[in-house]
Amino acid sequence: MELSYVQTTCPYCGTGCSFNLVVKDGKVVGTAPYQRSPVNEGKVCPKGLYSHEFINSPDRLTTPLIKKDGKFVEATWDEALKLIAEKFKTFKPDECAVLSSARVSNEDNYAMMKFARGVFKTRHIDHCARLCHASTVAGLANIFGSGAMTNSILDIAQSKCVFVIGSNTFENHPLIGRKIMTAKANGAKVIYVDPRKTPTGKQADLFLQFYSGTDVCLLNGLMQEIIKNGWENKEFIEKRCNGYEDLKSEVMKPDYSLENVSTVTGVPVEDLKTAAEWYAKSGATAILYSMGITQHTTGVDNVKSCGNLQMLTGNLGRPGTGVNALRGQNNVQGACDMGALPVVYTAYQKVIDPAAHKKFEDAWGFPDGIAEGKNGYEVTVMMDVLTDKPGELKCMYIMGENPMISDPDLTHVEHALKSLDFLVCQDIFMNETSVLADVVLPATCFAEKDGTQTSTERRVQMWRKAQDPPGEARLDWQIIADIAKAMGYEKQFAWKSAEEIFTEMASLTPSYAGMNYERLNKPEALHWPCPTKEHPGTPILHGEKFGMPDGKGLMTAISFKYQTERPDAEYPFLLTTGRCIWHWHTGTMTRRSENLEREEPTGWVEINPEDAKALGIRNGEMIKAISRRGEIQITARVTDTIKKGVMFIPFHFVECAANMLTINALDPIAKIPESKACAVKVEKIQGA
Ligand code: SF4
The C-alpha atoms of residue 589 and residue 447 are separated, in whole angstroms, by 13
**pLDDT grade for 132, boundaries at 50, 70 and 90:** confident
Cα separation values, 183 from 180, 284, 307, 603, Å: 5, 11, 21, 33
Is residue 566 a part of any domain in this protein?
no
CB 105 within 8 A of CB 449: yes
Is residue 555 a part of any domain in this protein?
no
Is residue 275 a part of any domain in this protein?
yes
Q: How far, in Å, from the CA of 448 to the mean position of ligand 1? A: 19
CA 271 to chain centre: 31
pLDDT higher than 90, residue 498? yes
Our count of domains for the chain comes to 4
The C-alpha atoms of residue 661 and residue 565 are separated, in whole angstroms, by 12
CATH number of the CATH domain containing 398: 3.40.50.740
Q: What is the pLDDT of residue 1?
A: 67
Mean predicted lDDT score pLDDT of the chain: 96
Q: Which atom of ligand 1 is nearest to the CA of 15?
A: 7
| Of 176-185, 480-489, 525-534, 668-677, the least confident | 668-677
Is residue 557 a part of any domain in this protein?
no
Q: Are residues 513 and 475 located together in one domain of the fold? A: yes
pLDDT higher than 80, residue 520? yes
CATH number of the CATH domain containing 8: 2.20.25.90
> Closest Cα to atom 1, ligand 1: which residue?
48
Q: What is the pLDDT of residue 280?
A: 97
CB 12 within 8 A of CB 330: yes
- Candidates 31, 45, 200, 596: which one to mutate for ligand 1, based on the most atoms within 8 Å of Cβ? 45
> Closest Cα to atom 2, ligand 1: which residue?
13
Cα Rg for the chain, rounded, in angstroms?
24
Q: Report ipTM for this prediction.
A: 1.00
- Residue 40: which domain range? 4-49
pLDDT higher than 80, residue 688? no
Q: Are residues 309 and 341 located together in one domain of the fold? A: no
CB 333 within 8 A of CB 340: no
The C-alpha atoms of residue 474 and residue 440 are separated, in whole angstroms, by 12
Q: Which atom of ligand 1 is nearest to the CA of 44?
A: 6
Q: What is the pLDDT of residue 328?
A: 87
Q: Nearest 5°: CA angle at 599, between 596 and 602? A: 95
Sheet containing strand 526-527, strands side by side: 451-454, 459-463, 526-527
Among 217, 327, 207, CA closest to 275: 207
> Closest Cα to atom 3, ligand 1: which residue?
45
**pLDDT grade for 687, boundaries at 50, 70 and 90:** low
Q: Are residues 455 and 472 located together in one domain of the fold? A: yes
Q: How far, in Å, from the CA of 12 to the mean position of ligand 1? A: 6
Q: Which atom of ligand 1 is nearest to the CA of 455?
A: 7
The CB of 45 under 6 Å from ligand 1? The reply is: yes
Q: Are residues 436 and 386 located together in one domain of the fold? A: yes
pLDDT higher than 90, residue 133? no
Reduced to 3 states (helix: H, G, I; strand: E, B; else coil), residue 567 is coil
Q: Which atom of ligand 1 is nearest to the CA of 10?
A: 1
Cα separation values, 443 from 60, 160, 200, 219, 400, Å: 9, 45, 36, 44, 9
Q: Are residues 41 and 105 located together in one domain of the fold? A: no
Is residue 501 a part of any domain in this protein?
yes
Q: What is the pLDDT of residue 58?
A: 96
Q: Are residues 309 and 197 located together in one domain of the fold? A: yes
Q: Which of 494, 527, 560 is the last residue of a domain?
A: 527
Answer positive or negative: Cα dihedral of 352, 358, 364, 369. Answer: positive
Is residue 568 a part of any domain in this protein?
no
pLDDT higher than 70, residue 206? yes
Is residue 243 a part of any domain in this protein?
yes
Q: How far, in Å, from the CA of 642 to the mean position of ligand 1? A: 26
Q: What is the 3-state secondary structure (H, E, C) of 297-359?
A: CCHHHHHHHHHHHHHHCCCCCCCCCCEEECCCECCHHHHHHCCCECCECHHHCECCCHHHHHH
The CB of 47 under 6 Å from ligand 1? The reply is: yes
The CB of 589 under 6 Å from ligand 1? The reply is: no
Name the amino acid, one letter, at 270: E
**pLDDT grade for 147, boundaries at 50, 70 and 90:** confident
**pLDDT grade for 656, boundaries at 50, 70 and 90:** very high
Q: Are residues 119 and 244 located together in one domain of the fold? A: no
Q: Are residues 377 and 461 located together in one domain of the fold? A: yes
Q: Are residues 303 and 425 located together in one domain of the fold? A: no
Q: Which atom of ligand 1 is nearest to the CA of 9?
A: 7
Q: Which of 292, 325, 358 is the last residue of a domain?
A: 325
Give residue-wise pLDDT tens across range 173-186.
999 999 999 999 99
Q: Are residues 476 and 621 located together in one domain of the fold? A: no
Is residue 437 a part of any domain in this protein?
yes
Give residue-wise pLDDT tens across range 345-366.
999 999 999 999 999 999 999 9
> Closest Cα to atom 4, ligand 1: which residue?
17
Q: Which atom of ligand 1 is nearest to the CA of 13?
A: 2
CATH number of the CATH domain containing 276: 3.40.228.10
Q: How far, in Å, from the CA of 178 to the mean position of ligand 1? A: 11
Q: Which atom of ligand 1 is nearest to the CA of 46?
A: 3
The CB of 437 under 6 Å from ligand 1? The reply is: no
Q: Are residues 180 and 316 located together in one domain of the fold? A: yes
**pLDDT grade for 50, boundaries at 50, 70 and 90:** very high
The CB of 10 under 6 Å from ligand 1? The reply is: yes
Q: Are residues 396 and 448 located together in one domain of the fold? A: yes
